[in-house]
Every structure is written in C-alpha cells, then in structure tokens.
Structure 1
Amino acid sequence: MTFPISRHSKASYVLIITLLPLFSEPISSLSLQPLAKNPSNFDPQIGLFGDAIFINSDSTRSVRLTRPAPSSSGLLLHGKPFRFLKPTSFSTDFTFSISPQTRVGLALIIARSDFPSKFSSKTETPFGLYGENRFFEIEFDKLVNGNVGVGVSGLKSASVSNASLANVGVKLQSWVDYDASSKRIEVRLGGFGSARPYNPLLAYPIDLAGMWEGEEVVVGLSSFSGHSVQSSSVYSWSFRVRSVPKSMHSQPIDPQGYTNEFVEEQEKVQKKSGCALGILSGLFFATGCGVLAAVVLLFLWAMFVDRNVIIPAEGSVHPVDFSYEKINVIVEKSLEDVKGKL
C-alpha cells in the first residue's frame, strides 16, 4: 500500500535531510571557540573552554588555563577528533609553566569526543574530568621537594631532579610520543628552547587502540588550580597524528602458520643457495679439468713430436776442396863464387 506525498511534504523532507547533518555534529565541534588571529605558536584547530583565555601582549602570546583564584580550571582543546582505527601513532610538543603556589599542575588528556560538553570550570574534580570514567592523561605537577613530577593516569610516575628544570614557574617544554607498533608512550621534558632529549624521562606500555576500540576521541591540555591561586599557562602547542598502513607492519595471526611460512622461506633460500654453490663448484671443476688436459697435451707434444727435430748449430760449416803441390827448390852455385869467398 502506498501513500501519496504532497509537495509540502517533499519540501519538509528535503529540509530535514539538509539540516540533519548540522544537528548530528558533536557538541565539541559546535562549542569550539577558535583562538583569535590564529597565532603561529599554536595549531589552527584549537579552542578554549572553561576559564582558559588567550593573552596577546607585546612580550608573549599564550593561553592562560586558570584564573588566579581557587577552584579554577580551563581546557585548551585540539578541535579535530580522531580514531585509533589503523595503527595510529601521535606526537605532540608544548611549552608551559606551572605556578609555584600549588602542587596541582597541567595535564595532557585524551578522552571521548563528548568530553568538552561535560567540562566545567566550577567542578572540584581535577582537570574537569567530572563524570568521565574512561580517559588517559599525562600529568605534570609540582612536588613537595620542588621538583616537577610526571605521571601517566596515576599508574606510573617519575620526577625531574635537574635543578634547571625543578624551578617551578619557569618555562618547560615537553615532547610526548605514542608508537602504535610497539604500544608504548614516551614522555620527555626539557627547558624552554632546549634540544629534544634523546632518552625519555618516562616510558609506559599502553594499547590506546584497544582502550578506545575505534571510538572517536579528542586531545587537550587542561589545568586545575585547586584551593590555591595558581595560574598555569601554555605558550605553544603542536599535535600530529600518524596513520601507518597495515601492509607496513608484520602482524601474524597464527604463530604456528608464521613458523611454517618462515621454515618454507628458509628452505627456499637454502635451495637457491645450494643451486648457486653447485653451479660455482661445476665451473671450478670444469676449469681444473681444462687446465689439466692442456698440461697433458703439451707433455705429449714434447715427447712424440719434438724428439725428431734437430736443432741446427749456431755457426754453419761448408765443405771445401784441399790440394797441395810439392815444390823443389834447387840452388846452384858456381865454383868460382865459392872459391872466391875462400
């Protein structure tokens, strides 16, 4: 059974289809307030929540996350949500300072995409995480001894004992890297303008893809003043997501199948190596046989062919005829000559 559709109904239907994507946008995208003038030291797709405000002065451009008042909290949000679907890694670096009046500091937070709609600057929950039961954070705090502490969701922590970094209130720079292939997150910390440290201050194994299971998440920097008049500031922030194709990763499902495949591959390599060695050995054998045959032929040639050859002498001798004649010499002297001498 079919029902006729009037032109008015068609127009309403088209209007609903047109407006539906607007109402289906997440709350975080609709409430996002971009920074004014898009300063170069921040990514363009970021916004402010709570007590966070942008400060544009002659000396610096920064985001102050909290007011100098108790129970103040603010959020600097990267406005582009993403998912850990493929082997997705990320890298971020930011420059910040923690006021020395309190131990509560600043945190890098990864939460569900509806987290900004729940964020409130009036809550007593640190970093505005009230009602959020699933999140990941890296927290930078001031410790009792004056050092800077770094913690991962309350599971693992480390402290900076370097005197140049332990002076809370100065600008610090942090590098956070997550590698999806090794399921490992690394945190580095250094002074403002310093080179990126080679060794991480803190490394922690965690599977963020398994934690979120393809759910859309957002990342932000948050601060909470607690019962003091702390004022935390962020001077620069950059966030990058890297998705590596699965074809570039080796992820065998069946270890036994992987072992068999490896053995077959090794057998193929051994067969190829055996063929190459056989060909090379054959070439050497043929060359040796050829040399031996040449030596035997030269020896036989010397024995049977060259033995009847007469080597001529250096000087040639020609036969000549020899004859002699007998010559008789008769001397006759006169008697008168003899007598005269006497």
Structure 2
Amino acid sequence: MTFPISRHSKASYVLIITVLPLFSEPISSLSLQPLAKNPSNFDPQIALFGDAIFINSDSTRSVRLTRPAPSSSGLLLHGKPFRFLKPTSFSTDFTFSISPQTRVGLALIIARSDFPSKFSSKTETPFGLYGENRFFEIEFDKLVNGNVGVVVSGLKSASVSNAPLANVGVKLQSWVDYDASSKRIEVRLGGFGSARPYDPLLAYPIDLAGMWEGEEVVVGLSSFSGHSVQSSSVYSWSFRVRSVPKSMHSQPVNPQGYTNEFVEEQEKVQKKSGCALGVISGLFFATGCGALAAVVLLILWAMFVDKNVIIPAEGSVHPVDFSYEKINVIVEKSLEDVKK
C-alpha cells in the first residue's frame, strides 16, 4: 500500500535534508566566516566576527577589528581548533596598530572552542569575553604609557609598562611563544620590520595544558574601542602549533629514573667492551709472562750452567822437543880492502 506525497511534503522533506547536516556540525564551524580571498599576509582558515572587516586597498591589506564608534569590538579568529595535549607549544607573530584615542587596545585570546558562537560586538565587556569564565589573554593596552599584561580568567597576573605602544598609529610587531617543557610564555614587541628582540618584554610561568586539561580551544585577536571612536587594525598574523614527541623528553623527567637508566646502559656497554678488553689484556699478559720467563731462564743458565762448560780451543796441541846449535859467523875481507 502506497501513500501519495504532496508538494508540501516534498518541500518539507528537502528542507529537512538540507538543514539537518548543518545542525550536525560543531557550533564553532557554524560561526566561521572565512574570507573569500585570503591574503598572503594571513594564515589560511581565518574568520571575522563582530565589527571586524577586511580592508583591501592599493596601499595595504589589513583587518580592521573595530568600527570608528564607541563600544565596538571585533574578532579575528584562527579557524582551526586545537588541544593542549602534553606536550604542545605554540608560536605566533602579528603586526598591528592602535589608534591614538583607543583606550583598551588589542588582545591575543585563547578560549574554549565555543567562544566564537558567543562573541558579540554589542557587549560592553572588553574583547567580547562576556560570559567566559576561563580564558587566557595577552593585552596590549594604551591606557598609561603603553601596557602589556597577561590576564588569566579575568585576573591580571603580570604586566609591564613603558612598552612602545605610546607611538600611536605606528605599526608594531609582536612575537608570542609558549614552551610546554618549561611552562613559560614570552612576549616580545618591536617596530614593524625590525628584528625579533633577543630578550622578551614580558615572561610569565603558566601551565596551559593543566589549565585546559585537553579541552578544545581556539585562538584569536580581538579589539574593543571602549568609549572612543578610533579603531585598531591587524596587518599580518601567523600562528603555529608545535607538538614535540614524548621520546624527546619535553616534560621534566625523574632524575633518579634517568640515573638508573644511565647506569644500566653503562653496564651493558661495559659488558660488551669488557670481552674485547679481556682478550687484549690476556694477550698482553701472556706475552709479558713469556718474556719474563725467558729472561729468568737466561739468568739461571748463566749462573749454573756456564761454570761447568769448557770451551775447547781450535786445533790440537802436541809437545815438541826444542834444541839449538852454536853457529859461527866468519867474515872475510875483500881483496880491495886488503890492498888499501
């Protein structure tokens, strides 16, 4: 028995088939709005939220995070979530500028993967972190003489003043590196096009793997205009995650365990090398003993045997009778001598 399907039923069926896969995707994937033409100065898979827009002009390609209006906020998101599985480190560098009247500035934010779905440009909460109770943030403020600070879940944990943010409107470049083995994050800041500074402007110890406990997170650059009408812009951004194999001992190892392994390894090496050394030593010992025995035998031979040996002379000796006779010598003078 078959039932006829009306046009409305067909339309409803098609609508369900089309919409259902959308709801099967993660919330963060629904919020992503990738750029139509990703510029080369930004990583792939970036997305814009809030008041952030892409500016493409003859002079520059950039992302303006906030509108020239009060209480404007925007987010530039790296669209690929990741986890701080032990051991996971990251490095990022970006170029940005802060307008003169901007009071809050710009921040590098690490939050849970559902953070983009809750981001709103209309909230009064700085950087769109309304309702977030767990996040990591590095702020670049221009409140007093330029301030760079580390904020963990809303609490400022470390800060440094007299950063070069006082040069408002000028492009600045920042390098942020997190090392999982030392559980330390370092922030460097310099002018656009300058070399990476050797010493960090700010260093802070933190265990991000312990903070997130394997939870999926996203990273982004956010700005909030506050009560000003100026904006902040990002001109380039690169973000890289590094996972070091456990065999490289990126985490601190037990010194006692390392000592035991070292001793065992040394014992194995000594056993292997001991065989060869034993053979060589045996050969040298046998040679020395043989030489010593030969010397002793020669000495004993000289002491006891040489005394009783008579070496015969060459040829035989016989007794011979010896006699002699008287010989008379007569000298005659010549005739000439007589005449004289």
Is the structural similarity TM-score above 0.5?
A: yes
Contact 1:49 1:75 in 2 (8 A): yes
* Structure 1 residues 309 and 65, CA gap change in structure 2 (3 angstroms): farther
Contact 1:147 1:168 in 2 (8 A): no
Q: How does 1:1-342 map to 2 (within 5 A)?
A: 21-146=21-146, 151=151, 155-156=155-156, 166-249=166-249, 289-303=289-303, 328=328, 330=330
Which piece of structure 1 moves more, 122-131 or 30-39? 30-39
Aligned-residue offset at 1:154: 5.2
Say which SS state the counterpart of residue 297 (structure 2) adopts. Answer: helix
Say which SS state the counterpart of residue 28 (structure 1) adopts. Answer: helix
* Structure 1 residues 222 and 146, CA gap change in structure 2 (3 angstroms): closer
- The two structures have a TM-score, normalised by structure 1, of 0.75
Contact 1:157 1:202 in 2 (8 A): no
Say which SS state the counterpart of residue 17 (structure 1) adopts. Answer: helix
Which piece of structure 1 moves more, 43-52 or 174-183? 174-183
Contact 1:126 1:224 in 2 (8 A): yes
Aligned-residue offset at 1:276: 9.2
* Structure 1 residues 124 and 165, CA gap change in structure 2 (3 angstroms): closer
Which piece of structure 1 moves more, 293-302 or 247-256? 247-256
Inter-partner Cα distance in structure 2 for 1:119 and 1:249: 38
Aligned-residue offset at 1:44: 0.9
| Cα deviations by residue, 1:309-342 (Å, 9 ceiling, x for unpaired) | 899999999999999886645567899998xx79
* Structure 1 residues 315 and 154, CA gap change in structure 2 (3 angstroms): farther
Contact 1:47 1:79 in 2 (8 A): yes
Inter-partner Cα distance in structure 1 for 2:155 and 2:188: 17
* Structure 1 residues 7 and 228, CA gap change in structure 2 (3 angstroms): closer
Contact 2:91 2:241 in 1 (8 A): yes
Inter-partner Cα distance in structure 2 for 1:43 and 1:80: 11
* Structure 1 residues 336 and 222, CA gap change in structure 2 (3 angstroms): closer
Contact 1:143 1:149 in 2 (8 A): no
Gaps of 5+ in 2: none
Aligned-residue offset at 1:226: 0.2
Aligned-residue offset at 1:43: 0.4
Which piece of structure 1 moves more, 227-236 or 192-201? 192-201
Query: Size of the alignment, in residue pairs?
Result: 340
Contact 1:94 1:237 in 2 (8 A): yes
Which piece of structure 1 moves more, 104-113 or 160-169? 160-169
* Structure 1 residues 11 and 169, CA gap change in structure 2 (3 angstroms): closer
Aligned-residue offset at 1:72: 0.5
- The two structures have a TM-score, normalised by structure 2, of 0.75
Which piece of structure 1 moves more, 22-31 or 33-42? 22-31
Contact 1:97 1:172 in 2 (8 A): yes
Which piece of structure 1 moves more, 102-111 or 149-158? 149-158
* Structure 1 residues 335 and 28, CA gap change in structure 2 (3 angstroms): closer
Gaps of 5+ in 1: none
Inter-partner Cα distance in structure 2 for 1:49 and 1:334: 162
CA-atom RMSD, angstroms? Answer: 5.6
Aligned-residue offset at 1:130: 1.0
| Cα deviations by residue, 1:246-303 (Å, 9 ceiling, x for unpaired) | 3443779999988987887788789889999988887776565445334323433544
Aligned-residue offset at 1:185: 2.0
Contact 1:185 1:204 in 2 (8 A): yes
